[in-house]
Chain A
């Protein structure tokens, strides 16, 4: 009996935690844009210097 009550309280609190997480993620706008972050993560941080334009052209063709 006791173990059942313990298990229930654990399962319920975990479920509540997930519900809370979902509501939080929704409120913080994580579902507003599902596309941009996937592109953004691929951008390289580059040092600002003038690059050889020919190189760009070559890279582009690859």
Chain B
């Protein structure tokens, strides 16, 4: 028997159930969505899902039918299917909701829910599911809908990361070959290290030839990246860091081959292979850190990939790029208008917050032009496309120069500049040394020359930056702060000013807290819901969303007075919703926050208290930032001015009613004063400002949410650590400088030994990886020590 008190948790998602409205047999559900998901799982005999882990589901939203119809559009289908034939097809879908072993079980048993599925396989780390299915029996859209219905909505993106993946696996192959050769060459060089008997000379020669055979794939394949890069830099007449490396590698290889072929020595192939191996490890490490979050996606992902086009009274899915002027399209609630279009229906409410930053919906009437990027709120409408998407208002906004700004990394500049100078200095020193030794002792000239070229190669310099910034990036990633690349760490370290956005950044994004104080019957609430639904004021929509009753009532009179409120008559009762003054309320209410009063037939019934909740611990963080905390730029009205005054330190300017362009210009002004600006926003309506800033951070409560043009994504709850992230970035810059110093010292000391002929190439070659390892080890350990503060 089951104790009734234990049943208050939702059987599907584990959230608390408010009452027993949603129940099946003895199982309780918190909402209709969860109950529906359970129904599907139960009908498909998949209840084992609930055995593996308790409450495995995620709180389910209501899904709508037909949402994924566009996937069957031929062009998209081709892109999404890895293999396609009459009775077999394979697709790989991203399913961000995968989070536990129950998910794996459920998603690998899809064939029980859809007979058209042959097999499905989950890749947990990539959050992907690969589905083999029979296209004759089921379709891509049906599969996507099934996943959605089960609570695992697939995220469809057209760009394929295949090429990147291939590059990474290519690098591992190179690394494997270099490591293999390194180990074996070391083994064959061992007799050489210990000294060979003169009578074993032939054996030594055999070993040398074997070494050469092993080193050829390393130089030709594993190290090929350095040679192509060096060659490229030669062609562009700009010497980069790869030139000395390539030169050193080439000198080592040629010198060793010469030695081996002429039987004058064993060569230095152990050093060569080791060098390549360690260099590639550095590259691989760097690549791994990049992989943590692949986000700079095509901005097109913002749009629904296809729209519903109305043709001959039938609705068909069309890819947005195929839209032509004059096409009729249908846009549903919360869908983004894909192209500038003219409204056919009587009325529509469009939320342009994505384009303009203004969160209140705009009312459009028949014949009005609706701009691309606007989000429809409410009833579905029909539109006629006026401009093709490629030239529309929105695309031009995104294509503005701000989005293409390139930042040249300072450390890379230092490296490249020093490499340019270094290369010439090294070549000069090498030439002078060679000339000197040619006259002094021509026998040793080659040896000394090789030592100089090898020891001067600033490999540790090249490794220090990716390792330091790379490990810092990983530390950040572990704490919910994802950077686009390691350059961002460097840019973060020089930030002078921090500018914040309000809604969704300092305050929680969704669902401002709405409390009703007073008394309203269910009927009256329904009427308020109906009336607020008519209004476009943001407060109306907030109040509207907070009421759970269905709208009902017959409206005989309706008037909205701007800045005051709504006046309406429903079922012969006069409703007034709005400000205290408008309602005629003269009392005093102590609580802070915006109030919306309701009166019926002149009698004040109470008020809605709207509070945008500030994130936890943000105040302390803002004060720790102190002087650096420069401004709050909010797109909303100044209703929260008092609350924000209390929150921000006095140094910060508080600006309200800012359009995105204002935000961008504010940042540009600060930058004109030689200040490095960090912008923290929600990434939707302040995309331009994020891109304009030296570093743009998008705060999000859902990492699946895509934001273009930002440099980093910060999880909402981690905003309180922002100041720590900044100081860590500073520390890592300091660590890098120390690592640079160590590396330079190594090179200088070793070079002085090499020039005087006191350093044999063998010692030089051993010194090289040792210096690299010590620099890398230093930076990695230092970063981890410094970042312990964070937790």
A and B found bound together: yes
Interface residues, chain A, with chain B CB atoms under 8 Å away? 1, 4-5, 8, 11-12, 15-16, 19, 22-23, 26-27, 32-36, 39-40, 42-43, 46, 48, 50-51, 53-54, 56-57, 59-60
Nearest Cβ in chain A — how far from B387, in angstroms? 43
Could you tell me the distance between the alpha carbons of A1 and B201 in the complex, rounded to whole angstroms?
Answer: 12
Could you tell me the distance between the alpha carbons of A11 and B184 in the complex, rounded to whole angstroms?
Answer: 9
Q: Are B173 and A60 in contact (CB under 8 A)?
A: no
Q: Which residues of B in the span 122-142 have a Cβ within 8 Å of any Cβ on A?
A: 122-126
Q: Are B104 and A40 in contact (CB under 8 A)?
A: yes
Q: Are A33 and B126 in contact (CB under 8 A)?
A: yes
Can you identify 19 A-B contacts, CB atoms within 8 angstroms?
A1-B202, A4-B203, A5-B206, A8-B206, A16-B180, A19-B177, A22-B176, A26-B173, A36-B123, A39-B101, A42-B101, A43-B52, A46-B48, A51-B47, A53-B26, A54-B26, A57-B26, A59-B51, A60-B54
Q: Are A39 and B124 in contact (CB under 8 A)?
A: yes
Known: A5-B206, A48-B45. A36 touches B104 (CB 8 A): yes
A53 touches which of B45, B47, B104 (Cβ 8 Å): B47
Q: Are B210 and A8 in contact (CB under 8 A)?
A: yes
Could you tell me the distance between the alpha carbons of A35 and B203 in the complex, rounded to whole angstroms?
Answer: 48
Is the C-beta of B97 less than 8 angstroms from some C-beta in chain A?
no
Q: Which of B25, B104, B183 has the most CB of A within 10 A?
A: B104
Could you tell me the distance between the alpha carbons of A8 and B51 in the complex, rounded to whole angstroms?
Answer: 55
User: What B residues does A32 contact at CB under 8 A?
Assistant: 123, 125-126
Could you tell me the distance between the alpha carbons of A54 and B173 in the complex, rounded to whole angstroms?
Answer: 53
Is the C-beta of B2 less than 8 angstroms from some C-beta in chain A?
yes
Nearest Cβ in chain A — how far from B178, in angstroms? 11
Residue of A whose beta carbon sits closest to that of B213: A12
Interface residues, chain B, with chain A CB atoms under 8 Å away? 2, 25-27, 45, 47-48, 50-52, 54, 101, 104-105, 108, 112, 121-126, 169, 172-173, 176-177, 180, 183-184, 187-188, 202-203, 206, 210
Q: Are B184 and A15 in contact (CB under 8 A)?
A: yes
* Secondary structure class of chain B's binding surface, majority of residues: helix
Could you tell me the distance between the alpha carbons of A19 and B112 in the complex, rounded to whole angstroms?
Answer: 41
Could you tell me the distance between the alpha carbons of A15 and B184 in the complex, rounded to whole angstroms?
Answer: 8
User: What A residues does B176 contact at CB under 8 A?
Assistant: 19, 22-23, 26
Q: Are A43 and B105 in contact (CB under 8 A)?
A: yes
Nearest Cβ in chain A — how far from B585, in angstroms? 53
Nearest Cβ in chain A — how far from B29, in angstroms? 14
Known: A26-B172, A53-B26, A59-B51. A33 touches B124 (CB 8 A): yes
Known: A23-B176, A53-B47. A33 touches B125 (CB 8 A): yes
Could you tell me the distance between the alpha carbons of A8 and B203 in the complex, rounded to whole angstroms?
Answer: 11
Nearest Cβ in chain B — how far from A17, in angstroms? 11
Could you tell me the distance between the alpha carbons of A51 and B50 in the complex, rounded to whole angstroms?
Answer: 12
User: What B residues does A8 contact at CB under 8 A?
Assistant: 188, 206, 210
Could you tell me the distance between the alpha carbons of A8 and B188 in the complex, rounded to whole angstroms?
Answer: 9
Could you tell me the distance between the alpha carbons of A61 and B169 in the complex, rounded to whole angstroms?
Answer: 44
User: What A residues does B25 contact at CB under 8 A?
Assistant: 53
User: What A residues does B45 contact at CB under 8 A?
Assistant: 48, 50
Nearest Cβ in chain A — how far from B273, in angstroms? 13
Q: Are A60 and B108 in contact (CB under 8 A)?
A: no
Q: Are B180 and A34 in contact (CB under 8 A)?
A: no
A57 touches which of B2, B173, B180 (Cβ 8 Å): B2
User: What A residues does B104 contact at CB under 8 A?
Assistant: 36, 39-40
Known: A19-B176, A23-B176, A39-B101. A56 touches B184 (CB 8 A): no
User: What B residues does A4 contact at CB under 8 A?
Assistant: 203
Residue of B whose beta carbon sits closest to that of A27: B169
Q: Are B172 and A60 in contact (CB under 8 A)?
A: no
Residue of A whose beta carbon sits closest to that of B165: A32
Residue of B whose beta carbon sits closest to that of A19: B180
Residue of A whose beta carbon sits closest to that of B50: A56
Could you tell me the distance between the alpha carbons of A22 and B121 in the complex, rounded to whole angstroms?
Answer: 23
Known: A26-B172, A53-B27. A40 touches B177 (CB 8 A): no
A36 touches which of B52, B122, B180, B203 (Cβ 8 Å): B122
Nearest Cβ in chain A — how far from B78, in angstroms? 23
Known: A4-B203, A8-B210. A56 touches B47 (CB 8 A): yes
Residue of B whose beta carbon sits closest to that of A53: B25
Could you tell me the distance between the alpha carbons of A1 and B199 in the complex, rounded to whole angstroms?
Answer: 11
Could you tell me the distance between the alpha carbons of A1 and B13 in the complex, rounded to whole angstroms?
Answer: 72
Q: Are A60 and B50 in contact (CB under 8 A)?
A: yes
Nearest Cβ in chain A — how far from B618, in angstroms? 35
User: What B residues does A50 contact at CB under 8 A?
Assistant: 45
Q: Are A40 and B108 in contact (CB under 8 A)?
A: yes
Residue of B whose beta carbon sits closest to that of A42: B101
User: What B residues does A26 contact at CB under 8 A?
Assistant: 169, 172-173, 176
